[in-house]
Chain A
Amino acid sequence: MSIGNALANRSFCVGLIVTSLIALVALVSFVWTPYPVGALDIAGKLKPPSAAHWLGTDHFGRDILSMIMVGSRNSIAVASVSVAIGAGIGVPLGLWGAATGGFVDEVLMRLNDLVFAFPALLSAVMITAVFGPGAINAIIAIGIFNVPVFARVARAAALSLWSREFVIAAGAIGKSPARITRDHILPNLASLLIVQATIQFSLGILAEAGLSYVGLGSQPPMPSWGRMLFEAQTMIGLAPHIALFPGLAIVITVLGFNLLGDGLRDVLDPKFQ
C-alpha cells in the first residue's frame, strides 16, 4: 500500500474527508456548540433555518445544529464501542478456532452460526427491551452481533494463512501456535479487519439510530439522531427541516464510512494492486 495509491482511489478520498469532518464536528462539540445543547426556548420553537439558528430549531426551541453536533458524539461512541466489543471478542475466537481446529473450532463456529441466525437489529430491540433502554444496553446489543462477523472474517483468513510457507516455517523452528498467531497471522489480517471494522462501524451508526428511533437507544437529554427523527415525525408537515437535518446527518455519516470501507478494501487488498 502506498499513499499515492490510496489517494488515487476516489471512494477512499471522499470517505476519508467525510469521516474526518464528522470526527472533527464531534470533537469540536466538546468545546463549542452554537447554543448550549440542553437549552429550551419554547417561544422560539420550530423556527426554520436562519442566521441565528443555521439548521433551525426543534419543537422545544432547541438549536438543531447543536443537537446534531452533540448527537454525533453519541453515534460515534455507540458505534465504536460496539465495534470494539465485536472485534475484541470475535477476532480472538476466530483466531483460536483457526489455530486449534477440530472440535474447538467446530463448537466456536456453530455458536457463531447460532448468534448469526438471529436478525441483528431485531435481537438488539429484544435485548434493550428486556434490560431497559439506554446507550449502554444499545452498545452491548449491537456489540454482541458484531462478534460473529469478526470471528468469521478472522477465522477464514487465518485458515488460509496457516497453510502458507512462512507460517509452516515458523512452526518448524518451534514457535507455539499462540506465538505464530500473534507474530505472523494477526499482522497479516490487520488490513482485512480494519476494512471490516469500518463497515461494521457504519452499520453500528445505523443500528443506534434505529434503536433510538423506537425509543430504545440513548435517553434524553442526550441528543440522538434517531430520536430526533422520531420526534420530528409528527411535525414533518409543520416544519420539515427538523426531520431533514438529522436524517441527512445519518445518511452522510453512514455513506462516509461505507465509502471509506470500500476504498480501504480496494487500497489494502493485494489483489487490486
Chain B
Amino acid sequence: MKSWKLAIAGVAISLVMSSASFAAKTNLVLGIVLEPPHLDPTAGAAAAIDEIVYANIFEGLTRIGPKGNVLPALAESWTQSDDGKVYTFKLHKDVKFHDGTAFDADDVKFSLDRARGDKSTNAQKGLFSAIDTVNVVDPLTVKVALKQPSGDFLYNMGWGDAVIVAPESAGTNKDKPVGTGPFKFDSWAKGSQIVIAKNADYWGKPALLDKATFRVIPDPAAATAALLAGDVQAFPVFPSYETIPQFQVDPRFKVVIGTTEGETVLGMNNKKPPFDNPKVRQAITHAIDRKSLIDGAMFGFGTPIGSFFPPHHPAYVDLTAETAYDPELAKKLMAEAGHPDGFKTTLKLPPPTYARRGGEIIAAELREIGIDAEIIPVEWAQWLDQVFKNKDYAMTIVSHTEPNDLNIFSRDDYYFNYDSTAFKELIKQIDVTSDGAERTELYQQAQKLLAKDVPAAFLFQLPKTGVWDAKIEGLWENGPIQANDLTSVKWLD
C-alpha cells in the first residue's frame, strides 16, 4: 500500500517538475465550484459572479481589501463634509474602459443612478438607499449627497454590486463584461471555463499574470483529482474538506484556512407553525451540537457562531454558550411549547456539502427531541425558487456569504419571515450611526436579540479553505467579500 502510494507520488512529482520548472509562469488555472449565471455584478446576487469579475474586471469608487478594509479604487481620494452628508470623490485620470472609451465622472453618475433607479435590477439596492443626489462637478470630481450620514457608505461603494460601468456597455455586460480593471474578459465556454487576460492599458499597477482561467468543477472528488493532477493550480474555496489533510502534508501545496463572511444557519420559516413559536425555535437551537456538526460535516473546519455575526469582526460577541447544545433543555422547551412528543416537518437542503451533510446530522439530532424532519435535497434553482422566493419551506440550511448582512433579519419580505420591531429599530439606528463605539454597542445588542429570538439556528462560520500550488503567491487568505482578487497574484520561480 505504502509503496504504490510512493510510486504514484513519485510519478506525479516528476510530471509536475518536468512541465513547470522552466521560467516563472504567467498563467493560472483556478477552480471554482459554481458557474456564474452571467457576468454582470450589478444585475445578479450570485456570489459566483463577483468571484470572477470583482477587482479583476470591474472596479468601483472604493474597494474592499484582503483584510476587509476600505481602499481607494477609481476614486483616488475623497473628502467628507462636516455634517457627514456629502462625499466629494476625486477620480483617477487617464482611466479607460476595456472597449477603449474613457472613464470620467459621468460614468460614475450613470452607474450610481442606474443602480438605485426604479428600473434597476441590482441585487443589493439597499447599498444605495442612503444616496440622495449624485452630481458631476468636473470630469474628475463627483459629489454624492446622502439623505442622512451613513457609517457604511464608503464600504458599500466597495461592493461588487456598486462597480462603475459605462453607458455604452452596461447592457451587454452579462455576456461580455467591460470594466476598467487590470484584466479583461477573454472567453467563456459555458459549463466549462471562463478566461480573463491581462489588460495592457490598465491605469494602475499592472497585473502580474497574463492569463487566468476559472474552471468550473462542482464535484468535490473531481476537485481533488484536478488539483493533484495539476489541471487546476488553485482552489480558493476548496469544496472537499475531507481531503484537505492530504494536501496539508503535501509540500507541493499550500493550504490556507481563512475566514469568510459566510454565516451558516438552519433557517426556519418563522410564520409557519410550529416555527412561529419562539420556544420551538429555541428547542431546535439547543438540540444541535455545533461541535459534532463541524466535525462531521466540515471535518473540523469552521467556527461555531451563536448569532448572525462573523467572529473576526471587532463588534462580535460570542453567544454560543447561550445557545449551547442541551438536549434536556430542548426537550423541556418542546414540552412547554405544547409538543412533548415532537412533530413531523421537512428540511430542504441545497447542494453544498455543508448543507447536505450538515442536514443529515441535524436531522439525526432533532430526532432525539422528537422532531422528525424529512430531508428533501434540492438544486440551487429550486432552492431559490421554493425557499428564497416563495418561502415554501419549513427548515433549510444555507450559508449567507455577503458581508455586513445582519440587516437581512430586518427585511420584511425575506425568507425567514422574521418580523421584530425591536430588531428593525436597531438596524435603523445602526444605519445612521457613524460613531465607532456606538455602532459596536448597537451591533452587540442586535446579535444578542437574534440569539434570544433565534429566527434561525446559528451554526458556524464557513471557512475559506484555500488550497493552491505552493509556488503561487498573492491569493487572499480570508474572504471578507466575495472575490478572487488576482491583481497581485504571481508565480514564484
Point out residues on A near B: beta carbons under 8 Å.
38-40, 42-43, 45, 59-61, 132-133, 215, 219-221, 233-235, 237-238
Are B375 and A220 within 8 A (Cβ)?
A: yes
Interface size on B, residues (CB 8 A): 23
Q: Which of A45, A234, A238 is most buried by chain B, counting CB atoms within 10 A of its CB?
A: A234
Q: Tell me whether B361 is interfacial, beta carbon within 8 Å.
A: yes
Contacting A42 at CB < 8 Å: which of B221, B361, B367?
A: B361
Q: With a CB–CB cut-off of 8 A, which chain A residues contact B26?
A: none
Are B240 and A234 within 8 A (Cβ)?
A: yes
Contacting B243 at CB < 8 Å: which of A43, A45, A61, A237?
A: A237
Q: With a CB–CB cut-off of 8 A, which chain A residues contact B367?
A: 38, 221
**Interchain CA distance A133-B220 in the complex, whole Å:** 21
Are B360 and A60 within 8 A (Cβ)?
A: yes
Are A45 and B377 within 8 A (Cβ)?
A: no
- Quote the shortest CB–CB distance from A135 to chain B (angstroms): 12
**Interchain CA distance A42-B357 in the complex, whole Å:** 12
Q: A38-B367, A40-B364 are in contact. Are A238 and B295 (CB under 8 A)?
A: no
Q: Tell me whether B47 is interfacial, beta carbon within 8 Å.
A: no
Q: With a CB–CB cut-off of 8 A, which chain A residues contact B292?
A: 40, 42-43
Q: A40-B292, A220-B375 are in contact. Are A60 and B361 (CB under 8 A)?
A: yes
Q: Tell me whether B242 is interfacial, beta carbon within 8 Å.
A: yes
Are B375 and A219 within 8 A (Cβ)?
A: yes
Q: A59-B296, A237-B243 are in contact. Are A215 and B364 (CB under 8 A)?
A: no
**Interchain CA distance A39-B243 in the complex, whole Å:** 24
Q: With a CB–CB cut-off of 8 A, which chain A residues contact B224?
A: 234
Q: With a CB–CB cut-off of 8 A, which chain A residues contact B365?
A: 40
Are B242 and A59 within 8 A (Cβ)?
A: yes
Name the prevailing secondary structure of the A interface residues. Answer: loop
Are A45 and B296 within 8 A (Cβ)?
A: yes
Are B242 and A235 within 8 A (Cβ)?
A: yes
Q: With a CB–CB cut-off of 8 A, which chain B residues contact A43?
A: 292, 295
Q: What would 4 more interface pairs be, CB under 8 Å, given A133-B377, A233-B221? A: A39-B364, A43-B295, A221-B375, A238-B242
Nearest residue (CB) in A for B291 is A42
Are A221 and B360 within 8 A (Cβ)?
A: yes
Q: With a CB–CB cut-off of 8 A, which chain B residues contact A235?
A: 242-243
Q: With a CB–CB cut-off of 8 A, which chain A residues contact B129?
A: none
Q: A238-B242, A238-B243 are in contact. Are A221 and B296 (CB under 8 A)?
A: no
Q: Which of B221, B240, B245, B361 is most buried by chain A, counting CB atoms within 10 A of its CB?
A: B221
Name the prevailing secondary structure of the B interface residues. Answer: helix
- Quote the shortest CB–CB distance from A125 to chain B (angstroms): 14
**Would you give the 0/1 interface string for B416-458, flagging 1 where the beta carbon is closer than 8 Å to chain A?**
0000000000000000000000000000000000000000000
Are B377 and A215 within 8 A (Cβ)?
A: yes
Q: List 27 A–B pairs whose Cβ atoms lie within 8 Å, in order of A's numbering.
A: A38-B367, A40-B364, A40-B365, A42-B291, A42-B295, A42-B361, A43-B295, A45-B295, A59-B296, A59-B357, A60-B296, A60-B360, A60-B364, A219-B375, A219-B376, A220-B360, A220-B363, A220-B375, A221-B360, A221-B367, A234-B221, A234-B224, A234-B240, A234-B242, A235-B242, A235-B243, A238-B245
- Quote the shortest CB–CB distance from B235 to chain A (angstroms): 14
Point out residues on B near A: beta carbons under 8 Å.
220-221, 224, 240, 242-243, 245-246, 291-292, 295-296, 357, 360-361, 363-365, 367, 374-377
Q: With a CB–CB cut-off of 8 A, which chain B residues contact A220?
A: 360, 363, 375
- Quote the shortest CB–CB distance from A214 to chain B (angstroms): 11
Nearest residue (CB) in A for B365 is A40
Q: With a CB–CB cut-off of 8 A, which chain B residues contact A234?
A: 220-221, 224, 240, 242-243
Nearest residue (CB) in B for A41 is B292
Are B246 and A238 within 8 A (Cβ)?
A: yes
**Interchain CA distance A238-B244 in the complex, whole Å:** 10
- Quote the shortest CB–CB distance from B274 to chain A (angstroms): 21
Are B240 and A221 within 8 A (Cβ)?
A: no
- Quote the shortest CB–CB distance from B8 to chain A (angstroms): 11
Q: With a CB–CB cut-off of 8 A, which chain A residues contact B243?
A: 234-235, 237-238
**Interchain CA distance A171-B376 in the complex, whole Å:** 56
Are A219 and B364 within 8 A (Cβ)?
A: no
List 8 tightest A-B contacts by C-beta distance, closest first. Answer: A42-B292, A42-B296, A234-B221, A42-B295, A234-B220, A233-B221, A220-B360, A234-B240
**Interchain CA distance A59-B243 in the complex, whole Å:** 12
Nearest residue (CB) in B for A61 is B296
**Interchain CA distance A238-B363 in the complex, whole Å:** 25
- Quote the shortest CB–CB distance from A230 to chain B (angstroms): 10
**Interchain CA distance A236-B261 in the complex, whole Å:** 31
Nearest residue (CB) in B for A62 is B364
Q: With a CB–CB cut-off of 8 A, which chain A residues contact B361?
A: 40, 42, 60
Q: With a CB–CB cut-off of 8 A, which chain B residues contact A61?
A: 296
Q: With a CB–CB cut-off of 8 A, which chain B residues contact A219?
A: 374-377
Nearest residue (CB) in A for B353 is A234
**Interchain CA distance A59-B374 in the complex, whole Å:** 21
Are A237 and B364 within 8 A (Cβ)?
A: no
Are B363 and A221 within 8 A (Cβ)?
A: yes
**Interchain CA distance A38-B295 in the complex, whole Å:** 17
**Interchain CA distance A237-B292 in the complex, whole Å:** 22
Are B377 and A221 within 8 A (Cβ)?
A: no
**Interchain CA distance A215-B374 in the complex, whole Å:** 15
